[in-house]
Structure 1
Amino acid sequence: MIVGRRALRAAEALDLRSLLDQPDVTDRLWDEAGRLLYGMSRAHGYSKLHEYRDAIAVCRRWVELAHLQPATIDRATALTALADEFATGHAALVLGDLRVELVATMKDVLTAWIAELGPVSAWMTQRVAALDAPGSGFAVRVVTSEPNPVSMAEARVLIDGVPIAARVFGCFEADPPEWVLPRLVATAEPKEIVLDENDGDELRVTIVREGDEVVWRDWRCQISARLLRDFRFDAAQYDREVDRVTHDHSWEWPARTVARLINERLRPDPAIRARCHSTWESQDLAEIGFSYPDTPPYAAFRLMVDVAGRDPAEVADEVLAGLTYRRLTSR
């Protein structure tokens, strides 16, 4: 796929706006336009869509033409991925209020395509069901890219529809939910958190509960002058959103669910030097890493867990039971 500045130059050289404004737009041209828009939106970390002078017109026209395209799995995958960028990625900054209309249209098209295509991937089903463009106030959306075979998971924090990491860093990739979500809990004691980071540069903000409001203030970042004003949120709404996204695991793939369940049980016990994560090779393969003994020098061990076709909760219980047995018999 052509990405970044190459995608920008290709769109400009082709005069993509004029091509899409023709009476008859071929399926091939529509597909290629989508790839260029996605390439400018993602760009290996830094979006170039804001540099494209015809971005808004081309995005609008491309979405208008979507319902005319024959439904295919590849086409639905591309539309799903770009819809997430319009809704909560850097493209949302370029589109402004228009993103709400475009995302709603994309969701309608995708819903019709899925009904026509029959069974599609769990990733596509989940992403289309969750698709929306957050409006005013505080919001968090966990977004995953198309699994190939396993994707990244980003916890995108938005304020008044603006994706904060993209706004400050100019990049698309937010930190994963297990890093971000625990930090968002607001208490009466002010705490400075790292909301996101990019190549070692941290975006920091102080969060404090003041009566029936949660306040975000004192933004700091080493590399960016694009810092934000103070924000005040209704505390009840803020708490509901943090609770909702913390307990919504519908985006997880099987191995990631197993990893989360195992880590939740292991974390409170400091004597157990083990952590679990899903591998990059498969959505159904989890890896537990151990170190022993409790003091250096350590020896490292790995245990691979196959989750394919099984209930992740049952797999986690079996793994934890085995770890408990090994720990007891080793004493």
Structure 2
Amino acid sequence: MAQLLGPAVDDPDPVGAAATLDRRLPQLGVRPDLVHHPLARLPLTNESAALALGRQLVRTASDPTALGAGIHLVGRLGGSEDVPQLTTLALLQGFLRPVVTALSALRCDTEVLIRLMDLLDPQDHGVVIDALASREDPAARRWLLNLPVGPGTSSSRARHIALAVRLAGLLQDESVDAFVLAQGGRLLTRMALETGSPAEVLGYGPAIAVYEALVRRADRLPPTLDHHAILLSLALDLSSGASVLLDWPPGLREELLERLLGTPAWAAVPDGGHRHRDQYRYRADWIRRMRREPFDRTTPNGLRIHVVEHDPEIGGHVEARILLDGRPLVPCLFPAGRSPSPEHVLGQDLLRATPEERTVTLSTAECDEGCCGTLSVTVRRDGDHVVWHGPRQNGIGPQLPEHRFDAAAYHAEVDRARADDTWCRPARITARLIQAGLGERPGLLARWGILQSWCRPAGPYEDTVEVDFWYGPGAGRDPVGDEAGQWVRLTWRLPDDGRRPGERAAAALERIAAADPKTYSRVTDGNAE
């Protein structure tokens, strides 16, 4: 690569050099988005020749790698006159990131990046948002502050935006308005999510100052459904989320949580939700369910299990947060994973302690078990105590130090968490009952040659339940060899029919018993042949 690029960037004939690169670079098999690495290491003894080559490649290259080389050279050596040409190239598939990198290197006007957003598919906005967040520019800060924060806003991007807009200073300003307060709450909530890497809120330096400023001014937020949801999400994080692990001054977190939970304007908001349709109703129902969460206003000792459903506006996923002496276990010890589902740890009663030792996997790394391991604990009863300790599997993953619990208090908490289904919306209850019924009657699926199934709500704003069935050669046992590639996933959708969850689940099980699910489900994955 160096032998080809070196002479080209010094060639006084940019047309000939560009034609040579366009012809020979494809033979080297270098990806277009990686060609900048060897180029960056090349000394450019003749910058005017290198820039002329870059501009020629940008105008005429037919090979993607040659075009990538041109974009890099123009970004490194060009000027404002190159911005329009580069902006056009951003619309080519695979070239957005190198073009935005080049535009940033050229210090293009912020307005150029903002206009580019209007031309892009929303799924590509993140590259431009990150570039804007890296700017020390009032125009960029204003634009970022008004950017919608939702399911597509990653935790790392939320932290990047909060730093870029100087959120702490905005919230501490006595004249701060309701919009900025609400936006700050949304960004904090996104930063506190468990994502398979250390929670971004723990790496956000002003986090405690932002929490304090926001909560102390929360009474400036009009009592709307959206504001209620934001404040409730903050309370859930301060009670049992990763934010608990921040280096709080003594008593401050508890004070802020008490202040949030004591806001009187909250009470009326969810009750008005039934007057709205669709997502308003679902969100109001979520608020009513999560308001019943047993918030820990003081730091508890021993084991606590908080089942938390996230705001439907940001996905509505559910997790069982396991706290030891008030500290959330997974974000504390195993940031590579996520807190487990309640169906996993509570539905299967995995935390029940007996004299016989049992190993329970609480979380698996998002990358892969073989990469970053699992968070596992060994649970056993030892007289009046329950003992946890963490085996390290194959030398990978964290090892939990031995922890001893009072057995009576431990099992009382496990029983409380297992019996409490106030967090569970009707569609999820229906799905759990169907799954439990299939587990109790394995012959229902075996009769139709189906190996396994899984039930779940179709989405955070749906009452429909989806049942997945896996079917293929060698049904009745795990597929081996080439059989795995011949399996299919079939999905059966059960719309809400107004009946109670128990009745819906019973009717679904009756239909599975009476008729082959393959006749009324549709193929959603795998080999349809």
Task: Please report the TM-score for the alignment, with normalisation by the length of structure 1.
Answer: 0.87
Q: Which segment drifts farther, 43-52 or 252-261?
A: 43-52
Deviates more, 1:38-47 or 1:239-248: 38-47
Alpha-carbon distance in structure 2 between the residues aligned to 1:261 and 1:43: 27
Aligned-pair distance for 1:73? 1.1
Residue identity matched to 2:430: V
One of 230, 246, 249 as aligned partner of 2:421: 249
Deviations 1:69-102 (A, max 9, x none): 2111111111222221222111111155533322
- 1:215–1:232 Cα contact (<8 Å) kept: yes
Change (3 A) 1:7 1:302: closer
1:203: how far off?
Answer: 0.5
State the structure with more CA Rg.
Answer: 2
Q: Which residue of the partner structure matches residue 319 of structure 1?
A: 508
Compute the displacement of 1:299 (Å). Answer: 7.4
* Distance (Å, rounded) in 1 between the aligned partners of 2:511 and 2:204: 56
Find 1:98's aligned residue among 252, 277, 287.
252
Return the letter of the residue paired with 1:275: S
- The yes-or-no answer on 1:271 pairing with 2:443 is yes
- Cα deviation for residue 144 of structure 1 reads 0.9
CA RMSD of aligned residues (A): 2.7
Report the counterpart of residue 226 of structure 2 in structure 1: 74
* Counterpart mapping for 1:46-125 below 5 A: 46=197, 47-94=199-246, 96=248, 98-109=252-263, 112-116=265-269, 118-120=271-273, 121-125=284-288
Tell me, yes or no, if structure 1 residue 144 matches structure 2 residue 309.
Answer: yes
- SS of 1:130's partner is coil
Residues in 2 aligned to 1:105 and 1:45: alpha-carbon distance in whole angstroms: 31
Q: In structure 2, do the counterparts of structure 1 residues 9 and 187 end up closer, same or farther at CA, with 3 Å as the change threshold?
A: same
Secondary structure in 1 matching 2:401: coil
CA distances 1:273-310 after superposition (whole Å, capped 9, x unpaired) = 35341243453111233456646787765432122532
Q: 1:197 is matched with which residue?
A: 364
SS of residue in 2 equivalent to 1:36 = helix
Aligned equivalents of 2:383, 2:224: Cα separation in 1: 52
Q: 1:224 to 1:188 in 2, by over 3 A?
A: same
Inter-CA distance 172–251: structure 2 relative to 1 (3 Å threshold): farther
Distance (whole Å) between structure 2 residues aligned to residue 171 and residue 78 of structure 1? 26
Q: Give 1:215 shift.
A: 0.6
Task: State the 1:148 CA deviation.
Answer: 4.8
* C-alpha distance in structure 1 between counterparts of 2:215 and 2:322, whole Å: 25
Distance 2:427 2:515 in 1: 22
Distance in 2 of aligned mates of 1:283 and 1:187 = 40
Q: Which moved more, 1:82-91 or 1:116-125?
A: 116-125
1:249 CA displacement? 1.5
SS of equivalent to 1:287: strand
CA spacing shift, 1:75–1:149, aligned 2, 3 Å: closer
Give the partner amino acid of 2:268. Answer: A
Q: Is residue 214 from structure 1 mapped to residue 386 from structure 2 by the alignment?
A: yes
2:78 corresponds in structure 1 to none
1:180 corresponds in structure 2 to 345
- Judge conservation of contact 1:254–1:283 (CA < 8 Å) in 2: no
Displacement of 1:108 in angstroms is 1.9
Q: Distance in 2 between matches of 1:216 and 1:28?
A: 46
SS of the residue 2:506 aligns to: helix
- The structure whose RCO (Cα within 8 Å, separation 6+) is larger is 1
Structure 1 residues 16 and 291: alpha-carbon distance in aligned structure 2, compared to 1, 3 A threshold: closer
- Measure how far apart 1:311 and its partner are: 0.8
CA deviation vs aligned residue, 1:170-208 (integer Å, no higher than 9, x gap): 368312111122221111101121122222321111111
Q: Distance in 2 between matches of 1:286 and 1:51?
A: 38
With over 3 angstroms needed to count, the CA separation of the structure-2 counterparts of 1:249 and 1:261, relative to structure 1, is same
Cα 1:5–1:259, aligned 2, differ >3 Å: closer, same or farther?
closer
Counterpart-to-counterpart distance in 2, 1:172 and 1:119: 37
Identity %: 31
d(CA) in 1 for partners of 2:190, 2:315: 19
Number of positions where the alignment pairs a residue of Structure 1 with one of Structure 2: 325
Q: SS in structure 2 opposite 1:220? A: coil
CA contact 2:155–2:190 (8 Å) conserved in 1: yes
Q: Is the 8 A contact 1:260 1:276 kept in 2?
A: no
In the aligned structure 2, how far is the partner of 1:14 from the partner of 1:290?
A: 48
Match of 2:171 in 1: 20
User: CA 1:260–1:8 in structure 2 vs 1: closer, same or farther (change >3 Å)?
Assistant: closer
Partners of 2:385 and 2:407 within 8 A in 1: yes
> What TM-score does the superposition give when structure 2 sets the normalisation length?
0.56
Is the deviation greater in 233-242 or in 21-30?
A: 21-30
Q: Note if 1:34 corresponds to 2:188.
A: no
Farther-moved stretch of structure 1 (258-267 vs 8-17)? 8-17
Unmatched segments (≥5 aa) in structure 2 = 1-148, 274-283, 446-451, 517-529
Q: Deviations over 1:230-272 (max 9, x none)?
A: 1111111111111111121222222211111122222123323
Q: C-alpha distance in 1, partners of 2:322/2:220?
A: 34
SS in 2 for 1:272: helix
Displacement of 1:26 in angstroms is: 0.8
Runs (5+) with no aligned partner, structure 1: none
**Paired residue for 1:288?**
467
Worse overlay, 151-160 or 2-11: 2-11
Higher helix share: 2
| Aligned-partner Cα distance in 1 for 2:362–2:305 | 12
